[in-house]
A and B are shown apart, each in its own frame.
Chain A
Amino acid sequence: MAHDAAAVSAELDSGKSLKSFVKDWSQDRQSFEVPWGKAMMWIFLLSDTFIFSCFLISYMKVRISTTVPWPIPSEVFALSFGGDPIPLILIAIMTFVLITSSGTMALAVNYGYRRDKRKTVLLMAATALLGATFVGMQAFEWTKLIVDEGVRPWSNPMGAAQFGSAFFMITGFHGLHVSAGVIYLVVVATRVGTGYYDRHRGGNYEMVEIAGLYWHFVDLVWVFIFAFFYLW
């Protein structure tokens, strides 16, 4: 009997079985065995998932329902460096910048758990810098589209009028998330650097991981925007 009890207990502790799921959710105390800040960030990201999904689904709906041809993103977002225009090149560079920033953030979280203050701050600063670069390139992209190609939320010279509203809404909201993320990262990195978490949180750097969750989510949303808006 004792052996069986130990086996069940080990199974529940691993947290990977259906039994552990039922136990975690039915006990009359906290269900998620993670710091509350992390659980709340996940809940926020879940709600943000629905917001971005609403944008992408409405984009799908207008694109299906328009009888006017949809502008070809591959051509609209082509960029020429003296020679022939290269399709989607700026978007590809932006994608690589954002993935790189996700990589540096993942490393920052890892060094945060090792209490390596210097590397954590440096990697978070690199992440924020790459994020700012992304926003800068997006500003360039918007300028090019508005000034040179005459795209407006209500019309554009290339085809379906809904292209502009979908584009500005989706990439604008994502760009806003990146901008907010850069500020968020700078705040958390400053607090790590100045020893705020050492003084007020007993040297617990879990805030770095929570900021990391937000940043990876921003990258995650871009994966879907890249696939559905730019490549489709």
Chain B
Amino acid sequence: MTDITHETGHQQHPLGIYIWVWILLFVLSFFSYMVDYYHLQGMLRWSLIIIFMLLKAGFIVAIFMHMAWERIALIYAILIPPLCLLVFIGLMAIEGEYTTLSRLASFTQHVFMASPVHH
């Protein structure tokens, strides 16, 4: 098969790109730590955490795991299926809200607060 030679052929990247991504991951991690250190709150906090997280994840998958150099057939096979997790997340978020509301409506005054709650 020509696979192996093709494969080894396109994996010979200069070391520089790895060093750059490495530094970038350090910087992004430092930034996300600073989000917590400076007690940023609200939408600013959530959006910064998500942005830094997705950037880091993207660089790890694309460069460190060589996804950027794979054929689209493999890229789609690996990256499309996890998208259904978004549906799962949505469902569980709705379910979670419902559970909270049920608990607040049914337990708060009568049972929940009367029982010893650990703080």
- Mark A residues whose CB is within 8 Å of B: 15-18, 20-21, 24-25, 31-35, 39, 42, 45-46, 49-50, 53, 57-58, 60-69, 74, 87-88, 92, 95-96, 99-100, 102-103, 105-107, 109-110, 113-114, 155-159, 161, 204, 206, 209, 212-213, 216-217, 219-220, 223-224, 226-227, 230-232
Contacts and interface: CB of A to CB of B under 8 A. Distances in A.
Interface string B2-17: 0110111001110100
A49 B61 CA distance: 13
B73 A21 contact: yes
9 contacts: A24-B72, A34-B3, A64-B97, A102-B22, A102-B64, A157-B118, A226-B29, A230-B36, A231-B36
Contact of A106 (B4, B18, B78): B18
A87 B72 contact: no
Contact of A67 (B25, B65, B81, B103): B103
A31 B73 contact: yes
A67 B100 contact: yes
Interface of B: 3-4, 6-8, 11-13, 15, 18-19, 21-22, 25-26, 29, 32-33, 35-37, 39, 46, 49-50, 52-53, 56-57, 60-61, 63-66, 70-74, 76-78, 81-82, 85, 88-89, 92-93, 95-97, 99-100, 103-104, 107-108, 112, 117-119
A186 B88 CA distance: 37
A88 B30 CA distance: 12
Contact of B88 (A57, A67, A216, A224): A57
A92 B33 CA distance: 7
**Secondary structure dominating the interface of B:** helix
Contact of B85 (A17, A50, A63): A50
Contacts, number: 181
Q: Is chain A's binding surface mostly helix, strand, loop or mixed?
A: helix
A53 B82 contact: yes
Contact of A227 (B50, B82, B88): B50
Contacts of B93: 60-61, 64
Interface centre among A31, A57, A74 (most CB of B within 10 A): A57
Given A32-B77, A107-B18, A61 B95 contact: yes
Contacts of B72: 15-18, 20-21, 24
Given A21-B72, A32-B71, A223 B56 contact: yes
B67 to A, nearest CB: 9
Contacts of A99: 22, 25-26, 29
Contacts of B22: 99-100, 102-103, 106
A68 to B, nearest CB: 6
A18 B56 CA distance: 27
A149 to B, nearest CB: 13
Contacts of B18: 103, 106-107, 110
Given A67-B100, A107-B15, A223-B57, A231 B73 contact: no
